[in-house]
Structure 1
Amino acid sequence: MAIVPLNLFVSHNGKSSRQRVTCRYKCGDQCAHPAPNTTDNEYFGDIAQAVSRRTVLRATGVTVLAVGAGAALAACSDDGMPTTASTSSPGPAAPEPPAGMNFAAVAPNSEDAVVVPEGYQQAVVISWGDPVLPDAPPFDVNAQTAAAQRGQFGFNNDFAGLLPIEGTSNHFLLVVNHEYTTETFMHPGYNADAPTREQFDIGVAAHGLSVVEVERTPEGLKPVMGRYNRRITADTPFILTGPAAGTALVKTTADPTGRTVLGTVNNCSGGVTPWGTVLSGEENFNSYFGAAEGAPAPRPVDADRLDRYGIKVEPTERKWETFDPRWDVTKSANEVNRFGYVVELNPWDPSSTPVKHSALGRFKHEAANIYVTDDGTVVAYAGDDERFDYMYKFVSSKKMREGVDPAALAANMTILDEGTLYVAKLTSDTPAGEIDGSGTLPAGGAFNGTGTWIPLLRSGADGQAESLVDGISPEEVAVFTRFAADKAGATKMDRPEDFEANPLTGKVYVALTNNDKRGGDGQPGPDAANPRNDNKSGQILEISDNHAGTDFTWDLLLVCGDPAAADTYFAGFDKTKVSPISCPDNLAFDSHGNLWISTDGNALDSNDGLFAVALDGPNRGLTKQFLTVPLGAETCGPIVTDDLVTVCVQHPGESDDNSIDDPLSRWPEGGNGTARPSVVAVWKDGGNIGV
């Protein structure tokens, strides 16, 4: 397949390539509205705070890591790396790439295909509408029903986890969440002003999660109708646990106990726990809740709470509120308070009820990912994916139990209900005058600093809790976490998305996707961790954390974008020898300790993709593109093992100028086929990935 190289010299006046239609359905078009965080938390550029580095504790092994989307832009040599471009003169020849990164970088392109390095193979694992349960019919876009969708793979897959099935060679559970539906790319002849009841029911069924047994074969991963296969939807019962459960803030007419929530929506990234369950984050849940045109405004206190979470008292894009009053904020005011949590699923028991953990707080969770200290303390890291919102961690008061027996699993599934929730405040010794919004490195040669985790909420057994923020009750901290973090003085970040801890070093990495409002009129200006105004391409934060404690140090590993531009930084690595990368979204690690990044909405005019970054030694900062996804698509859910990479290809073909009736993409079917979100497996002919 011919790769279409694009011009290396890219204007940073461009915006994210994410289409408006994607924004409308995925996040309620949040970037077109004022940021919900209107607090005046202090800038930290002029605050000096000395915090010593702590010895990083060693992590226990984590089964799987995940997620993302991305792409880049450069004229490339035969190995896919830039042939020109940097504001500095080329240095000496780069060292040999580290193990796991010895592949020819894929050139930026605009193919309607998944493009992988030479010598690698790929195959689709499963696509939207493929049967997951035995009684599900084959996919037929012209005859789709809600009953069929409840047994089929859902829409817009995001996170993926791959869990080995003990005692069965080459068999795994593939656990995938389904972030959102884009009805204009699902239903031929769709009328956005008047969706039908059946289309609403299909949308409900296309959300949630899928559990699918897969078999590793010479042709990739193949779905199996296994006994663990399961569909979770937007009306599957969940148990609400923690300080919010049973309180007046979450009780509804349909659920007067405030403990059983129907469904989960807008599940973005996630993680696999060391005890074998799957976590998933409810992110842009706000876009599902609305009201009829002209509906009466809620009480002032309710309006404040809705505004801080970006909820509008107006018709939504999907108009679910016209079919079920629980999505209408004027008819079921507390229903919205039952979404925005980290959910936990036990994929090994198809009859189990999944859980929503309110002790981890309620905000736009990209994900929650786990690190375990040497003494068994569990630490969960999470980002609130909105412009100028915050980074959080939860430190358990219970220790993880070893073993895979039912008693250990049951105990471990309560770990995220008891502990302390914190929010991050960052500081830096860099003088404020050296952070001018241009991204120019300060005199010290790097963006770095220290930080403190500020406690918000201490949760105990049976939902007992103590607020650690004056004037806010425990249940209010759990349900309206953003207000508590505002009052605590947390640092406003540029869309903190995925957190991942390196299993080899314990360092924690955060994807900060972008923020083109940074430094705008009336908006917060730059600081050392968010050093660019009009930040279109994002950055990667590296944290050396005292995991169970409250202090940390931090560095910016990458300031993303076109390496030819002066405002980009690749940990000091020669920028003539890296792949351009824009809008990092989700993170994963390989067994060699390399960081893998997928990006979402590449601002450099190329398809999104997946990248590997070296973290140590002379290669630190080396960035190479491993694959790109089709037109209009986002790369999500990367899983990187020694001999297999899988990615979720989300929203292929989504474009403001197209629809299912006038498609931009025909991937993966080709011909006259329907563009379908899918999981793709990539492997190397006769060898391991990048070796």
Structure 2
Amino acid sequence: MSVSSGRKFSLLPMLGHTKGKRSPVTCALKCDNACTGEVCNTSSNSYFRDIASATMSRRAALGFGAAGALAVAFGSALTSPESAVAGGPGLSAAAKNGYGTSKLKFTAIAPVDAAVDAFTVPEGFTWQPVIRWGDPIFNDAPEFDLGKQTAAAQERQFGYNNDYTDILEIPGSKGRRAVLFANHEYTNEGIMFPTAMPAADVRKIGAAAHGLTVVELERRNKNTPWSYVKGAGLNRRFLNDTPYELTGPVAGSPLVQTKADPAGRTILGTLGNCAGGTTPWGTILSGEENFNGYFVAPGTSDKDKRYGLTSKPTARQWELDDPRFDTRNADSANEANRFGWIVEVDPFDPTSTPKKHSALGRFKHEGANVIVAESGHVVAYSGDDERFDYLYKFVSKDKYIEGDRKHNMTLLSAGDLYVARFTGSAPAAEITGTGAVPSDGGFDGTGEWLPLVVGGVSQVRDMSVEEVLVYTRVAADKVGPTKMDRCEDVEPSLHTGKVYVACTNNSDRGKAGKEGATEINPRNENRDGHIVEIIETGDQTSTKFTWNLLMVCGDPAQGDVTYFSGYPVDKVSPISCPDNLAFDSVGNLWISTDGAPSGIKKADGLFKVTLEGAERGRVEQFLAVPRDGETCGPIIHDEERTVFVAVQHPGEDGTFDAPLSFFPDYVPAGTAPARGQARAPRPSVIQVFRTDD
């Protein structure tokens, strides 16, 4: 089997090696078959420190106190730019009032077979697209025509494979107008374009389908669904030639200078944008993740290998059109160093220059999520989505000033960078690699944030600040953090200040020559993933924390050893491969998934998890996405009983001539479209809302 890229074909190395519903096509196009290569992190630093004997009780381990958080108040269902801070230093108003009862009540759906091409929601709910791949967002953009695609048209239309999304209210609109932001992570040319299309056209249109989009939304009132507004003043596409300002210590460094940009301060485009975050001042953060798959590099240096850069031709072969994607050329030797950053976008100013923030380090950022600490400093958490890589935290140099948006938009340009080390509380002998719970009743322990850059000074031997931030993985290796099972989304709760880390999976854990199970990553060949809960000691700027596992994922009915904070395993919805995280207005955690429990083929979905009280650990499935699709970018507006998700790569295993999905253009629901309508699946942002009252 092969995947088409115009007239070029590449083999699928993951064919026969994926489990559950994961497609080998996704592996090839999204992450450059990362799991088939050697693990990027071959450092010999201590992975994890287990306490040799049970000298710390579970209660003691968690008793260091909850973190304070100067939290942004999301009292309304929409986020507003420069939202008010609730009640001064401390937790959000919602936290002070305790966990409430969500207005979004539903009966959990049963798991849906992965071969079903349908978008499944609970009884009493319905769904419709907000915007789809190819929808025109400017007045001069043509309507989407699958058979007549051009690069010029795609540049004026909504991009492909939307991942992170958020919806922010336009001030003064009384909830009737908003902006939607979306990442466009990658493309699948094999189902987007006919095989007869010239390869050069395929490359140009595919490139135009990457990047970011901002588009205005409108609705009649809070009880009606959203529609996007073609030609609205805030609509914008961010493309491969969009200039980005590089901020922070690396700006101007020789490590990022190229012939085209000798100043090393202006970067064109953003790549591999996966998850993201929304700041308290109303800007959007986007994580550049699998950027390595877009570059041909010498592939021989330790730094190349540490970042997964190789000398093989890329899947999309943009290097044939643009020499900057071939870093073997001296003129563009540093081009790959200009990707792998956190991007900040102002969705309310279509003339603004987006930024790439070097102070947050360079690695495969899944995203970044911000909370304002009790001290007033801004803290951003970010995971490096690679097997055996690390969890990071950034603390701003300056403090947040309520109402001063211009000042607050500088906060991510300077500050301190840390990487996490975890210690377990159970004896190492009790961590068997099966996921079985230790004798103290849970997985827990303590941790510390190891400094990489503090006060503008490198804390890593033989590395300058610029080197630490450009080669952050290499720098982290030297200080001995804990190697994790693919940290993806990292979300601080504005209700409690606790931080939740989605560890998606790591099928290499415990294999020959690789680290086995530890308490923070308790399962060998971890195909189903787990969720870490972190409690900072003091406020969010602390260098010490305690931690526990909220859940060890899987399907108990299939015999998987699972853990849901003590909640009965026979009463949860089976869940695997947690990816993106979100919270509702009363503090429940919502999880979108990228992979079904190993051994069964069920569709990805969105799940609600209760975090407090007797039902802590209860998992309820809210929706399931169509065949081959992934659930991304959840937005929970439970006060309006509405949920949004981005559906990525539906019908991934199909071809242009033989599509496996017709999402979302079912005519009628569940059937193929009529003659003349789009035949390809279209990644889309979807809204789900109640219809029974």
TM-score by length of 1: 0.88
Distance 1:541 1:65 in 2: 27
Residue pair 2:628, 2:652 contacting (<8 A) in 1 also:
yes
Distance 1:522 1:60 in 2: 44
Distance 2:273 2:77 in 1: 16
Query: Does the alignment pair 1:554 with 2:547?
Result: yes
Residue pair 1:125, 1:221 contacting (<8 A) in 2 also:
yes
The residue type equivalent to 2:462 in the other structure is: G
- My pick for the range that moved more, 39-48 or 360-369, is 39-48
Which residue, 667, 679, 688 being the options, matches 1:682?
688
Distance 1:100 1:556 in 2: 28
Aligned partner of 2:518 in structure 1 is 527
Which residue, 207, 211, 221 being the options, matches 2:226?
221
Aligned partner of 1:608 in structure 2 is 604
Query: Does the alignment pair 1:125 with 2:130?
Result: yes
The residue type equivalent to 1:307 in the other structure is: K
Alignment of 1:344-493 (within 5 A): 344-403=344-403, 408-458=404-454, 465-493=456-484
**Post-superposition offset of 1:198:** 2.2
Query: Does the alignment pair 1:19 with 2:3?
Result: no
The residue type equivalent to 1:21 in the other structure is: V
Which residue, 100, 106, 116 being the options, matches 1:103?
106
SS at match of 1:203: helix
Residues 6-65 of structure 1, C-alpha deviation per residue, up to 9 Å, x if partnerless? xxxxxxx98242211111111111011111000122243534697761342034126599
Aligned partner of 2:183 in structure 1 is 177
Runs of at least 4 residues off by over 4 Å: 48-52, 62-66
Distance 1:257 1:571 in 2: 52
Alignment gaps of 5+ in structure 1? 1-12, 67-96, 292-296, 460-464
Query: Does the alignment pair 1:625 with 2:621?
Result: yes
Distance 2:241 2:117 in 1: 34
TM-score by length of 2: 0.87
Distance 1:686 1:109 in 2: 23
Which residue, 503, 509, 513 being the options, matches 1:512?
503
Distance 1:61 1:185 in 2: 42
Residue pair 1:159, 1:636 contacting (<8 A) in 2 also:
yes
Aligned partner of 2:580 in structure 1 is 586
Aligned partner of 1:156 in structure 2 is 161
Aligned partner of 1:544 in structure 2 is 535
Q: Name the CA shift for 1:468/1:189 in 2 (closer, same or farther; >3 Å).
A: same
The residue type equivalent to 2:170 in the other structure is: I
Which residue, 313, 317, 337 being the options, matches 1:315?
313
Distance 1:484 1:341 in 2: 16
Distance 1:54 1:576 in 2: 32
Q: Name the CA shift for 1:45/1:468 in 2 (closer, same or farther; >3 Å).
A: closer
Which residue, 33, 42, 48 being the options, matches 1:44?
48
Distance 2:70 2:138 in 1: 37
Alignment gaps of 5+ in structure 2? 1-16, 79-99, 667-671, 674-678
Distance 1:341 1:506 in 2: 25
Which residue, 219, 230, 234 being the options, matches 2:236?
230
**Post-superposition offset of 1:190:** 6.0
Residue pair 1:45, 1:435 contacting (<8 A) in 2 also:
no
Aligned partner of 1:576 in structure 2 is 570
Distance 1:184 1:617 in 2: 48
Which residue, 645, 657, 664 being the options, matches 1:661?
657
SS at match of 1:478: helix
Aligned partner of 1:305 in structure 2 is 303
SS at match of 2:50: coil
Aligned partner of 2:322 in structure 1 is 324
The residue type equivalent to 1:275 in the other structure is: W
Residue pair 1:268, 1:282 contacting (<8 A) in 2 also:
yes
Query: Does the alignment pair 1:200 with 2:193?
Result: no
Distance 2:335 2:216 in 1: 33
Q: Name the CA shift for 1:315/1:605 in 2 (closer, same or farther; >3 Å).
A: same
- My pick for the range that moved more, 48-57 or 379-388, is 48-57
Aligned partner of 2:142 in structure 1 is 137
Distance 1:57 1:100 in 2: 27
Identity level (%): 53
The residue type equivalent to 2:425 in the other structure is: D
Residue pair 1:242, 1:417 contacting (<8 A) in 2 also:
yes
Residues 586-640 of structure 1, C-alpha deviation per residue, up to 9 Å, x if partnerless? 1000011100000002233111000000000011011000000000100000000
Cα RMSD, aligned residues only: 2.0
Distance 1:330 1:58 in 2: 46
Residue pair 1:165, 1:171 contacting (<8 A) in 2 also:
yes
Higher relative contact order (CA 8 A, sep 6+): 1
**Post-superposition offset of 1:163:** 0.3
**Post-superposition offset of 1:363:** 0.2
Residues 62-88 of structure 1, C-alpha deviation per residue, up to 9 Å, x if partnerless? 65999xxxxxxxxxxxxxxxxxxxxxx
